[in-house]
Amino acid sequence: EFIDDTITYGSFPPGFIWAAATASYQVEGAWNVDGRTPSIWDTYVRTPGMIADGSTGDDACLSYYLYEQDIQLLKNMGVSHYRFSISWSRVIPNGVGESNPLGIQYYKNLIAALKAAGIKPMVTLYHWDLPQVLEDQGGWQNPDIATWFEAYADLCFEQFGADVEYWITFNEPWCQAYLGYGTGSKAPGITESGTKDYIAAHNQLRSHAKAYRLYELKYKQTQNGKVGITLNISWAEPEDNSTASIDAAERSLQFAGGWFANPIWGNGDYPQVMIDLIARKSTAAGLPQSRLPVFTETEKTELRGSADFFGLNFYSSEIAKEELFDDTLVNYSTDKDVATYQDKENWYGSASSWLRITPWGIRRMLNWIKNRYNNPDVIITENGLSDRNGYLDDSMRIYYYKYYINNVLKAIQDGANVIGYTAWSLMDNFEWERGYLERFGMHYVNFTDPAKPRVPKSSANYYSRIIQKNGFVPENVCDSPTVY
């Protein structure tokens, strides 16, 4: 019923951002080189049993050395921007204090080479690789981290800001909070959901606000960049049109996206439904106060309006229905009283268990953001598909990009202020706890070859044709009778 395979012809707005993305730990390698100290991911990959294929990001794509090759790939695709992230422990080895000139030089070289190629950087400050020395002091559980993060952001703005128009403070704080401190499926591997995940989210939000306000005060006038945050939200479709299902789907979206978006684009605080449910369940469990932390009035003021754009990472969708869990349970996943699942019969799958192809979902998601948060500027900061083999003739990935990007166009025609689109990923890379088993690249990387050669897949060419026309015209739609 959701499959809409009609393609709308048309153009994206003038000046639309077309980008491809990577993240430091997933591509750089050189984990112990030139003064870089371990991050929580270097520790996590060395903990037996954590990574599906037993691999590490020690080398990954070796982009620390091969970044000029990466830039050539970006140039060939014709993107306007490259989204990458900075490794905190490369530029400040002790997490706080003295900076590392060699680490800083790497990013200066990367930014200069991008500039020479006519590509603008879109820079993420934090894509999950916290310096291990800071985790040793509690990491995202320690409220002091807001001042540590602020100092790190200050260094990055000062050193690189002259050439950066778009800054992203955090990539997917939901993942760092819930998967890092709740389920433990990502570093630092802590499994205290219902408490530590809420605290990790709280301190990321406080840190985000500090960085945003610092930029506003100290750099905005001279550097003239924009600062945002990237959230991951799966679209939640009600199972049926009962009030219970419709409310459950909305709760699912509020617990995933609203958790971070409401403090920033809403009233400066968590969504009321989270405040109410977690308070009630905390009382039922005999706790003296809610497990959901509370912002001070000053923090709320700092948070409200603290983003120049809404970064959205979008991959897939879920069907939601009400499920009333025992109020005495202590867990983020039961706090929301929602059960979700995917339609395995009708939605094409991928190499990732959680990722099924739902192009209509991105359009609904963008409309939801438009309606809930007063139509902010949105940059899609990630979107893409995994496979296992990395075949160069990646027709399924072309199918995915074709229909998702076309649904972004439809959302723009619905009135959503989407100003950019970013494909994940420029190339196959270290896919976190899945190691090298899931490939998201538009370029194939041969990881067994020490030279880590990159080879374009058909999707890189398909994407470049959409970019070239700034949209969909009959000659780039590709009406093949087979998959695409």
Contact segment (CB under 6 A) with ligand GBH among 48-56, 65-73, 153-161, 168-176 equals 168-176
Active site residue 322: no
Determine which residue in the list 79, 119, 179, 231 makes contact with ligand GBH, applying CB under 6 A: 179
Which residue has the closest beta carbon to ligand GBH? Answer: 232
Asked whether the beta carbons of 291 and 282 are under 8 A apart, the reply is yes
Contact segment (CB under 6 A) with ligand GBH among 167-175, 209-217, 453-461, 468-476 equals 167-175
Q: CB under 8 Å to 430, separation ≥6 — which residues?
A: 25, 26, 27, 55, 56, 57, 60, 61, 436
By CB under 6 A, residue 382 contacts ligand GBH = yes
Q: Residue 318, SS3? A: strand
Binding characters for ligand GBH, 7-36, by CB under 6 A (x = yes): ----------------x--x----------
Nearer to ligand GBH, 70 or 382 (CB): 382
Determine how β-strand 317-322 pairs with β-strand 235-238: parallel
Binding characters for ligand GBH, 249-268, by CB under 6 A (x = yes): --------------------
By CB under 6 A, residue 354 contacts ligand GBH = yes
Asked whether the beta carbons of 129 and 39 are under 8 A apart, the reply is yes
Angle of helix 359-372 relative to helix 395-414, nearest 10 degrees, comes to 30
Nearer to ligand GBH, 90 or 104 (CB): 90
Using CA atoms, how far apart are residues 339 and 356, in angstroms rounded to an integer? 17
Within 46-204, strands assigned E span: 81-85, 120-126, 166-171
Determine which residue in the list 12, 140, 170, 440 makes contact with ligand GBH, applying CB under 6 A: 440
Say how many C-beta atoms besides its own lie within 10 A of residue 240's C-beta: 9
Within 22-57, strands assigned E span: none
Nearest approach, Cβ of residue 154 and ligand GBH (Å): 24
Contact segment (CB under 6 A) with ligand GBH among 98-106, 170-178, 201-209, 253-261 equals 170-178
Using CA atoms, how far apart are residues 341 and 338, in angstroms rounded to an integer? 10
Binding characters for ligand GBH, 190-229, by CB under 6 A (x = yes): ----------------------------------------
By CB under 6 A, residue 334 contacts ligand GBH = no
Determine which residue in the list 309, 424, 463, 484 makes contact with ligand GBH, applying CB under 6 A: 424
Asked whether the beta carbons of 280 and 198 are under 8 A apart, the reply is no
Q: Quote helix, strand, coil % in the chain, to nearest 5.
A: 45, 15, 40
Binding characters for ligand GBH, 120-139, by CB under 6 A (x = yes): --------------------
Nearest approach, Cβ of residue 323 and ligand GBH (Å): 16
Structure token digits, residue 352: 């990732």
Using CA atoms, how far apart are residues 261 and 369, in angstroms rounded to an integer? 9
Nearest approach, Cβ of residue 482 and ligand GBH (Å): 26
Nearer to ligand GBH, 12 or 181 (CB): 181
Catalytic residue among 135, 299, 382, 438: 382
* Residue 339 φ/ψ, nearest 5 degrees: -115, 135
Per CB under 6 A, residues contacting ligand GBH are 23, 26, 171-172, 175, 179, 185, 232, 313, 315, 354, 382, 424, 431, 440
